[in-house]
Structure 1
Amino acid sequence: DWIPEPLPERTGSVGVPAGTATADPADRVTLDESAGMAFPGALESMTPAQRGALILHDVFHYSFTEIAEITERTPPACRQPASSARRRVRALRTLEVPAAQQADPVRNFRRAWEAQDIATLIGLLGPDATLTADGGGLAKAALHPVEGGVRIAHHLAALSGRTPADLVILERTVKGRPGLMARWEGATVAVYAFDVVDDRIKSIWAVRNPEKLRPWTGIGGEGAGAG
């Protein structure tokens, strides 16, 4: 599966330099709504008209008059799919725990994973949780999403049994939300991003593709470790 790059920090708003004001913030996807790892998945679920209108207007800041000229439609016909697409994106955030409150579930997940405590992992994961990995053909990763909290817990426990003893798991901010970074022999070998809903982990994105981990080069290994 393809996963977007797990950037270690955020700057500005989507498509807009920091400090730039928009005419009506309610008519644009905000940074918090679009910076998360779930945003590309939401785009894929949209119709071409919704996706095109959202990207052209909210990200690249074309007016609906300009979009109408590009797509040979009327401005109202472009405005409606953009509005529908925006609702889809914002629905992703409706039940999600605020970023500041996601730290404890992610921290507890790290500790349970390191201890191979399957029962605690199952309790932290939602029953319909999904783990999606991306090795990009350059690193070992699950070929298909692992679905269900129980299956994910057992999958992670099995991974722990095959990882080097000196692998270190660190807590880091991933795309503005609490996440994890795995380091081995001074290099970042994996980054994990999370979606937390109702205090339980709903989605995990495991990026192992070294090309997507380049932004993490040089990020220090100090801090919360493998304990």
Structure 2
Amino acid sequence: MTDTAADVAAEHPRLVSLAYRLLGTLADAEDAAQEAFTRWYRLTESERAAVRNPQAWLTRVVGRVGLDMLGSARARREQYVGEWLPEPLPSDHLVVASADPAGDAEQGEAVSTALLLMLERLTPAERVAFVLHDVFAVPFDEIATLLDRTPAAARQLAASARRRAKGETGHPVARADHDAVVTAFGRACRDGDMHALLEVLGRDVVLRSDGGGVVSAARRPVQGADNVARFLLGILGKYPTATVEDVQTTDGAGFLVRDGGAVLGVVNLGVTEGVASDVWVVMNPAKLGAWQ
């Protein structure tokens, strides 16, 4: 990669994609990427010329900035009104990390809501090590430098995060199976069919809605198929002119809810054993910008 403004600017989508996986919202991801560019252009010409791989340099800086931002982000989460959910995005909004040889299926899992929520429960160092290595294939010696750890310690952090990811998110569901459940769920909601909706919801399904204290949303998780079904149909009943559109998200098939042209929210599902195990409803306007 040559040191030209165009080459460096071309890194923007990849850096935002990395930072989003670290931070969970586009606004924070854009801030992290911008900070990396700012630091790059603060270097003198001779300092930039000494950087053998600007792409790797920018990646490390975003990792370091993300690590710093995770501390303040965690403090904001503690003050957040109601449930906090990652910002839902269209399926083509993020570049796919191409360095990981695991394949497209695992890359898709690397931006699923289930995994992003699991990452929220990791320490900042674990999250950075996991995302940089397992998703973007950054070597452990480089990760160790930005974490101020040994390579062995960085490897252990990523391994710990990987074990939790496998244990808490379970075996990935085939996209076709996931989308079939989503289709049945959407049909039941549009028809207002309580019985059909209960058939597609797992007995222990949990619904979380994120209004950010800006719009009305359930402050606590709604648990159990019957409660979730009644909650969903009740919400739709409050917006008789609302439309439920099929969209493709980073989770696969999902729904965009509009009323009079205004975007009310995005709905995604977690699917386990042929039924919905999680329903995620994001209504916070600050997290709907990609869908406007």
TM-score for both structures, normalised by structure 2: 0.64
Q: 2:42 maps to what in 1?
A: none
Q: Which runs of 5+ in 2 are unaligned?
A: 1-82
Please say if residues 192 and 205 of structure 1, whose CA atoms lie closer than 8 Å, have aligned partners that are also in contact.
Answer: yes
Q: Deviations over 1:19-72 (max 9, x none)?
A: x434xx35xx94222111112211123345432421343456543223333444
More helix by share: 2
Q: Distance in 2 between the 1:50 and 1:68 partners?
A: 11
Bigger relative contact order (CA 8 A; separation at least 6): 1
Q: Distance in 1 between the 2:99 and 2:130 partners?
A: 18
Q: 2:89 maps to what in 1?
A: 7
Q: 1:141 maps to what in 2?
A: 217
Q: 1:54 maps to what in 2?
A: 130
Q: Return the match for 2:248 from 173, 181, 184.
A: 173
1:16-165 equivalences under 5 Å are 16=97, 20-22=98-100, 25=101, 30-58=106-134, 62-91=138-167, 94-163=170-239, 165=240
Q: 1:212 maps to what in 2?
A: 287
User: Letter of the aligned partner of 2:277 in structure 1?
Assistant: K
Q: 2:260 maps to what in 1?
A: 185
Q: Distance in 2 between the 1:43 and 1:145 partners?
A: 19
Q: Distance in 2 between the 1:9 and 1:210 partners?
A: 19
Q: Distance in 1 between the 2:148 and 2:289 partners?
A: 40
Please say if residues 170 and 181 of structure 1, whose CA atoms lie closer than 8 Å, have aligned partners that are also in contact.
Answer: yes
Please say if residues 33 and 90 of structure 1, whose CA atoms lie closer than 8 Å, have aligned partners that are also in contact.
Answer: no
Please say if residues 245 and 255 of structure 2, whose CA atoms lie closer than 8 Å, have aligned partners that are also in contact.
Answer: yes
Please say if residues 192 and 206 of structure 1, whose CA atoms lie closer than 8 Å, have aligned partners that are also in contact.
Answer: yes
Q: Distance in 2 between the 1:79 and 1:96 partners?
A: 24
More strand by share: 1
Q: Distance in 1 between the 2:247 and 2:182 partners?
A: 10
The count of aligned residue pairs is 207
Please say if residues 122 and 153 of structure 1, whose CA atoms lie closer than 8 Å, have aligned partners that are also in contact.
Answer: yes
Identity %: 37
Q: Distance in 1 between the 2:229 and 2:174 partners?
A: 24
CA RMSD of aligned residues (A): 2.3
Q: 1:103 to 1:68 in 2, by over 3 A?
A: closer
Q: Return the match for 1:195 from 245, 270, 278.
A: 270
Please say if residues 134 and 206 of structure 1, whose CA atoms lie closer than 8 Å, have aligned partners that are also in contact.
Answer: yes
Please say if residues 194 and 203 of structure 1, whose CA atoms lie closer than 8 Å, have aligned partners that are also in contact.
Answer: yes
